[in-house]
Structure 1
């Protein structure tokens, strides 16, 4: 894995580092969700740089998924990223700290499936929780070609959370794709064909 500040700073849109938060008197260090890069050899002698970004959905949940009426949610539990407001989620935060960065940096060795055929959305899962119990941690992401830089791809982690009830029938039947196929399709600005 490679972390290059110049690669990240050259991206044509604003880089988001979440820093840390104080939640119920505890510090949530979100440094594990800082953007990072890794090199990937798409073809022999054709190296690209993949820049990985994370959304706040990796440590927050929607108001609807929270289960409480909005009036019962303390303002200190609400995270506002300037585009949307969401509820801080201890489970998503802890699981992301434990699994997410490593999972994304070893993506080439993982099973990836097409989550939605209508858009370039992919999912990879880790099937063990912190207690060693069976669970499904789903990571949804998309990949696009950087507008201003050649040989640069943007991998945006849209969301990551434990799926209650496990994989859906559609997710179980989804076709496997390789990271190389995903990156090549993004580089060529075409839809993936699993």
Structure 2
């Protein structure tokens, strides 16, 4: 699998570029695998473009409506508050993000990427994560935008990553596929990729 050269990000444009450790049922979760990072890519436009990768708290938490418990039964210690929204810590999402997420992002150039929603626009790539012969589809949803403050830089935001309960939807299965390089080039040039 082709890997990208990773550069350490010293200064992030957002304060949430790093998640502090959280305590979940007596166990400390180290979230450093979700620290922002950057890589450079040659998109055939004369010089490299830097891609800054940022992760959201949706990679290790889920909404209240996804929780099996009524909201009043969810312990306060299991509620994650990033100042913009409150969500429920998810051991499954955390563990999958720890095992797979960064490697998936680093290998996007070699992955199959589908247009998940052309209105937003966002994209999805999937990984089969079971080793016992059963299939669970771990979907990584992300968006890419041109950085408004820095030239020759794109921002890739991993919006969410979780196991799809019913696999890919029919629309996602039939959605247009796009190569990572094509997606980055189109975003940099201000072109929209349709599903």
Displacement of 1:159: 0.3
Aligned match of 1:122: 123
Question: Where do 1:34-49 residues align within 5 Å?
Answer: 34-43=35-44, 45-49=46-50
Structure 2 portions without partners, runs of 5+: none
Deviant stretches of 4+, over 4 Å: none
Displacement of 1:68: 1.2
- Secondary structure of 1:98's counterpart equals helix
* Structure 1 counterpart of 2:9, from 5, 11, 14: 5
Cα contact 1:54–1:158 (8 A) shared by 2: yes
Question: Where do 1:170-181 residues align within 5 Å?
Answer: 170-181=171-182
TM-score, length of structure 2 as denominator length:
0.92
User: Distance between the aligned counterparts of 2:132 and 2:53, measured in 1?
Assistant: 28
TM-score, length of structure 1 as denominator length:
0.93
- Secondary structure of 1:5's counterpart equals coil
Aligned match of 1:136: 137
User: Distance between the aligned counterparts of 1:166 and 1:115, measured in 2?
Assistant: 13
Displacement of 1:179: 0.8
Displacement of 1:131: 4.8
2:190 is equivalent to residue 189 of structure 1? yes
- Cα RMSD of the aligned pairs, angstroms, is 1.5
Aligned match of 2:76: 75
Displacement of 1:10: 5.5
Structure 1 portions without partners, runs of 5+: none
Displacement of 1:130: 5.5
2:93 is equivalent to residue 92 of structure 1? yes
- Secondary structure of 1:76's counterpart equals helix
Cα contact 1:15–1:35 (8 A) shared by 2: no
User: Distance between the aligned counterparts of 1:63 and 1:132, measured in 2?
Assistant: 31
- Secondary structure of 1:142's counterpart equals strand
